[in-house]
Amino acid sequence: MSDWYKTMAFYQIWIRSFADGNGDGIGDLQGVYEKLPYIKELGVDGIWFSPIYPSPNADFGYDISDYKNIHPDYGTLEEFQKVLEKAHELGLKVIMDLVVNHTSDEHPWFLESRKGKDNPYSDYYIWRDEPNNWDSLFEGKAWEYDPVRGQYYLHLFAKKQPDLNMDNPAVRKEVEEIMRFWLDLGVDGFREDVINFISKKEGLPNGVPFLPAVNGMIHYKDGPHIYEYNSQFRKVCMEYDAFQVGEGPMTTLPSALKYLTGKNKCLDMMFSFDHMMADCFYTEYMHRPFSLVKFKKAISKWQYGLQGKAWNALYLENHDHPRIISRYGSEIFWKQSGTMLAACYLFLQGTPFIYQGQEIGMTNIRLGRIEHYEDISSKTNYHTYHLKESTAKRLHRIHLSSRDSARTPMQWDDSPHAGFTVPEAKPWFYVNRNYKKINVKAQEQDQDSILNFYKTCLRMRKTSKTLLFGSYREYFPKNREQFIYERQLEDKHYLIICSFAGRATLLKYPPVFEGRKATLVLSNYKHREQVQLLQGESFLKPYECRVYRLRF
């Protein structure tokens, strides 16, 4: 396909918490429709919709019971078409979440499949008389006994998410049809959920016994037919010039390169997870404070590794991770770290994704009881790990790690419920109490807001070939407080300097820049001189970032 996606930036919508248009406390398509101008104004070029299909919401949309319809909470297909048309009119592409590793256990295919071995849908799922030792990622063992069928079915995620049997050609045909359905409606591509998990090793052998939760992964990640199946789906997308970004949990660089290049090329980009593991990711097992060196190592690995070969999908947040300011930045230096984090990833090589609320610096929510959380993985983790610790300590782990922090209602203004819904309604989930300070309206009015900083960064990217296509080079990889990198195209250079420290730190310029004159084109602090000599000692303020432009 053509590579129109390379100059784009995407905005991710997790609809349930985005904007409520009809006043029932749940975000919906009407709400999205009304906010399209806001999204356009931000300066992105496309929208990724997390699942908006009918779903019992065991995993909030990632358990689909009908692939070709809209969840009644969110609207109708007609309303979706209206959103799509309007988005296109505004020049925004729209990509859908394609979740085909599993369905809901309430999907008609599963309801049929469990009826028995002679059912036409019998082999749509993975049934066994005896389970192997795999754990699921969300809810205990990966096998659940179904009394109707008298067999166990495989679920890599929650019990209500049975895995499809992708080895069955009929299932792959169904996937093709789902894709065609949405492409025919006019969507521009897909974000493909856990796409590296869809082919399982023959015979489903036992996994590594001592690894909790991920013990079976060696047998279902990048499985034997993974490129073949994905190439089949790729063909459909090629017919439409549609775009595909795959989610690749725990994917490695060599394996990602196989999806992205060469004869097996079956995806345009892949979301990798390495840079999400620079802190207490999976806090449930182990508390690790954020390590900038680890973060930089992960970023550089992918920047260098894909350079000239493939294209990065850049992100710091999505619906599966806590808020980045609370994680890698600082709530105390909220605005400084929120803006610095924006600069630190928006100028890398790749296509950036911005998750709803990230652009205004939304932060983690801390609920008082585990019962107040909605996310299935938070609940399971709380009740599975560290049971000997105090309730407070265990809850603290959830505060650090829960996916629910990304799923609180979007903070539009300082009116009741942050303007997410009408005052009379009860939002489906807790609004973060900081909404009076952190909201869209306040930031639209403030020149120096995080929101306006995002807009500036996106505009700069879009209008600079160097920032879009230039090569990447990192400096001082061992520095534990600063992330410094360069983007270069011919004689044009950008130097991006980011401090991750909550205090002033000494800045050393990379030797090749030393003594050169540079234009400071962006900073999250005020500087008197725009043209500066990069020489001698300089200090970076807490979470300061600077972007210099120069020629040599």
Smallest gap from residue 138 Cβ to ligand GLC (A) = 7
Q: Per DSSP, what are the bridge partners of residue 48?
A: 12, 95
Assess contact for 548 and 518: CB atoms under 8 A.
yes
120 burial type by CB count under 10 A (0-12 exposed, 13-18 middle, 19+ buried)? exposed
Number of residues that make up the chain: 552
Q: Segment near Ca ion (CB under 5 A), from 12-20, 97-105, 227-235, 522-530?
A: 12-20
Q: How far apart are CA 375 and CA 364, in angstroms?
A: 14
Select the binding partner of residue 467 from ligand GLC, Ca ion, none (C-beta < 5 to 8 A, by kind).
Answer: none
Q: Determine, following the binding rule CB under 5 A, whether residue 409 of this chain makes contact with Ca ion.
A: no
Question: Which of 246, 230, 227 is closest to 238 using CA atoms?
Answer: 230
Letter string b/e over residues 387-423, b meaning 16 or more CB atoms within 10 A of that residue's CB: eeeeeeebbebbbbbbbbbbbbbbbbbeeebbbbbbe
Of the candidates 33, 109, 121, 157, which one interacts with ligand GLC according to CB under 6 A? Answer: 157
DSSP 422-444: -TTS--SSPPPGGGGTS-HHHHH
- Among ligand GLC, Ca ion, none, the one that 26 touches (CB under a kind-dependent 5 to 8 A) is Ca ion
Task: Select 28 or 279, whichever has its Cβ closest to Ca ion.
Answer: 28
- Reduced to 3 states (helix: H, G, I; strand: E, B; else coil), residue 42 is helix
* CB of 282 closer than 8 Å to CB of 380: no
Considering only 26-34, 89-97, 278-286, 428-436, which stretch makes contact with Ca ion by CB under 5 A?
A: 26-34
Give the nearer residue to ligand GLC in terms of CB position, either 98 or 242.
98
Q: Compute the C-alpha angle 271/273/276, nearest 5°.
A: 125
471: contact with Ca ion by CB under 5 A? no
| Closest residue to Ca ion in the complex (CB) | 28
Using CB under 5 A as the binding rule, the residues of this chain from 98 to 157 that contact Ca ion are none
The structure tokens listed for 12 are 């991710």
Query: Is residue 59 involved in binding ligand GLC (CB under 6 A)?
Result: yes
CA–CA separation, 377 and 374 (whole Å): 9
Active site residues: 193, 247
Cβ neighbours of residue 490 closer than 8 Å, sequence gap 6 or more: none
Residue from 14, 15, 19, 20 touching Ca ion (CB under 5 A): that is 20
Distance in Å, CB of 22 to Ca ion, minimum: 4
Q: Nearer Cβ to ligand GLC, position 179 or 376?
A: 376
Q: Using CB distances below 5 to 8 A depending on partner kind, what does residue 534 bind out of ligand GLC, Ca ion, none?
A: none
Name which of ligand GLC, Ca ion, none residue 194 binds, using a CB cut-off of 5 to 8 Å depending on partner kind: ligand GLC
Residue 28 binding: pick among Ca ion, ligand GLC, none (C-beta 5-8 Å cut-off by kind):
Ca ion
Report CA-CA distances (Å) from 22 to 19, 51, 294, 312. Answer: 9, 19, 45, 38
Q: Does 194 bind ligand GLC (CB under 6 A)?
A: yes
Decide if residue 404 touches ligand GLC (CB under 6 A): no
- Judged by CB under 6 A, the residue of 320, 374, 404, 544 near ligand GLC is 320
From 8, 19, 26, 84, residue interacting with Ca ion (rule: CB under 5 A): 26
The residues of the shown chain that bind Ca ion, judged by CB under 5 A, are: 20, 22, 24, 26, 28
The residues of the shown chain that bind ligand GLC, judged by CB under 6 A, are: 59, 62, 99, 157, 193-194, 247, 319-320
